[in-house]
């Protein structure tokens, strides 16, 4: 009984108090919010902190996204190499999972696939450089290229080019979400008549609603207080991790975000929106996987 109480105090009560205090000290978001340089500070410890705070569950969420976006391997069947864009690629976790999924499916398939080109973009030079090391270690440099890039302005990328795109825990960091979604829409192949559109998967946190009961409440408490406090301690970058908490609280509800995707106003040159095909709830409603297809309107 005593030990249960002390575990509860350590895991929940202390972080709740600490997060209230830290939130008062670090009220404002970091000045470079949306530019990626904020992540330069924590790049070398990012993977370790992620795994520790998400209790390794984050790997499973990314795997679900890769399976869904590739339609369990069907994306790789085709007459040309598959082009995949991973936005806010960070340390390249998703890009690496995508390449491994390709290799796995290719080894199981009777005739060989046409190859895959995965481009990961991120504005944080340090995150990219950690990612490049990981890609090298995994021997995947023939499949993955990592470049500096901002989701709000993909000026170097051709329109209607990619067969699929992913973005995990990135869109929350972009203040101009509509602008980023319009750019992503521009570079993806659109659905037109019988021609299949690209698949776009976005993974993002939100605070679980009441329909997830006690588990949802626990997840809410964990995200709101435990993650930012332990993140601040482990990273030594308290402003950045307090911002994480606030950016999750400020992120639109799943319904609102799906609506934003479906009602994009992208200007004369790019008329279209996304059709949200599914919103998959993970981790007691604290993580959503949005699956969408770019369409013309
Ligand atoms: C929480 S990390 C996610 C990284 C990776 N996708 C993952 O799942 O681990 C958020 C990433 O978003 C990037 N980011 C911030 N602003 C961005 C922007 N305007 N466009 C694209 N990426 C951005 C950051 O540099 C950072 O690497």
- State the CATH number of the domain containing residue 277: 3.40.50.150
**Does some domain include residue 2?**
no
The better pLDDT of the pair 37, 26 is held by 37
The alpha carbon of 135 and the centre of ligand 1 are apart by a number of angstroms equal to 17
Decide: 174 in ligand 1 pocket, CB within 6 A: yes
pLDDT band at residue 154 under the 50/70/90 scheme: very high
Decide: 229 in ligand 1 pocket, CB within 6 A: no
The alpha carbon of 167 and the centre of ligand 1 are apart by a number of angstroms equal to 8
The alpha carbon of 59 and the centre of ligand 1 are apart by a number of angstroms equal to 16
Decide: 36 in ligand 1 pocket, CB within 6 A: yes
**Does some domain include residue 49?**
no
Tell me the percentage of the chain whose pLDDT exceeds 90. Answer: 59
pLDDT of residue 213: 83
Decide: 90 in ligand 1 pocket, CB within 6 A: yes
**Does some domain include residue 237?**
no
pLDDT of residue 20: 59
**Does some domain include residue 243?**
no
* pLDDT of 178 over the 80 cut: yes
* pLDDT of 33 over the 70 cut: no
Calpha distance 178→175 (Å, rounded):
9
Decide: 150 in ligand 1 pocket, CB within 6 A: yes
Calpha distance 65→278 (Å, rounded):
12
Decide: 151 in ligand 1 pocket, CB within 6 A: yes
Structural domains of the chain, count = 1
pLDDT band at residue 85 under the 50/70/90 scheme: very high
**Does some domain include residue 5?**
no
Mean pLDDT taken over the chain: 88
**Does some domain include residue 13?**
no
pLDDT of residue 118: 98
pLDDT digits (tens, 9 = 90+) for 66-77: 999 999 999 999
The alpha carbon of 178 and the centre of ligand 1 are apart by a number of angstroms equal to 16
The alpha carbon of 150 and the centre of ligand 1 are apart by a number of angstroms equal to 9
* pLDDT of 52 over the 80 cut: yes
Identify the top-confidence range among 9-18, 124-133, 237-246. Answer: 124-133
Nearest-atom index, ligand 1, CA of 88: 22
SS3 36: coil
Decide: 29 in ligand 1 pocket, CB within 6 A: no
Calpha distance 172→35 (Å, rounded):
12
pLDDT of residue 21: 61
Decide: 152 in ligand 1 pocket, CB within 6 A: yes
pLDDT of residue 194: 87
Decide: 294 in ligand 1 pocket, CB within 6 A: no
**Does some domain include residue 16?**
no
- Following CA atoms 146, 152, 158, 160 in sequence, which dihedral angle do they give, to the nearest 10 degrees? 110
pLDDT band at residue 25 under the 50/70/90 scheme: low
Residue range of the domain that includes 178: 56-206+251-296
């Amino acid at each position: 009984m005593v030990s249960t109480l002390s575990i509860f105090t350590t895991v929940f009560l202390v972080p709740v108090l600490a997060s209230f205090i830290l939130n008062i000290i670090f009220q404002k978001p970091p000045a470079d919010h949306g530019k990626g340089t904020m992540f330069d500070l924590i790049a070398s410890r990012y993977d370790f902190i992620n795994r520790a705070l998400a209790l390794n569950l984050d790997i499973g969420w990314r795997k679900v996204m890769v399976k869904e976006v590739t339609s369990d391997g069907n994306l790789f069947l085709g007459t040309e190499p598959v082009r995949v864009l991973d936005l806010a690629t960070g340390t390249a976790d998703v890009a690496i999972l995508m390449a491994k999924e390709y290799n796995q499916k290719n080894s199981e398939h009777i005739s060989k696939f046409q190859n895959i080109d995965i481009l990961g973009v991120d504005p944080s030079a340090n995150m990219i450089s950690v990612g490049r090391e990981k890609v090298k270690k995994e021997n995947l440099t023939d499949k993955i290229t990592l470049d500096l890039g901002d989701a709000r302005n993909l000026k170097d990328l051709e329109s209607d080019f990619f067969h699929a795109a992913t973005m995990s825990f990135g869109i929350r960091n972009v203040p101009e979400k509509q602008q980023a979604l319009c750019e992503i829409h521009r570079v993806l192949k659109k659905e037109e008549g019988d021609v299949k559109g690209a698949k776009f998967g976005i993974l993002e946190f939100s605070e679980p609603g009441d329909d997830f009961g006690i588990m949802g409440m626990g997840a809410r408490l964990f995200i709101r207080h435990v993650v930012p406090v332990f993140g601040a301690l482990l990273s030594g970058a308290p402003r950045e991790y307090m911002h994480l908490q606030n950016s999750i609280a400020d992120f639109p509800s799943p319904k609102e975000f799906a609506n934003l995707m479906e009602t994009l106003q992208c200007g004369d040159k790019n008329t279209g929106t996304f059709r949200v095909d599914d919103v998959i709830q993970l981790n007691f409603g604290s993580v959503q996987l949005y699956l969408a297809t770019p369409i013309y309107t």
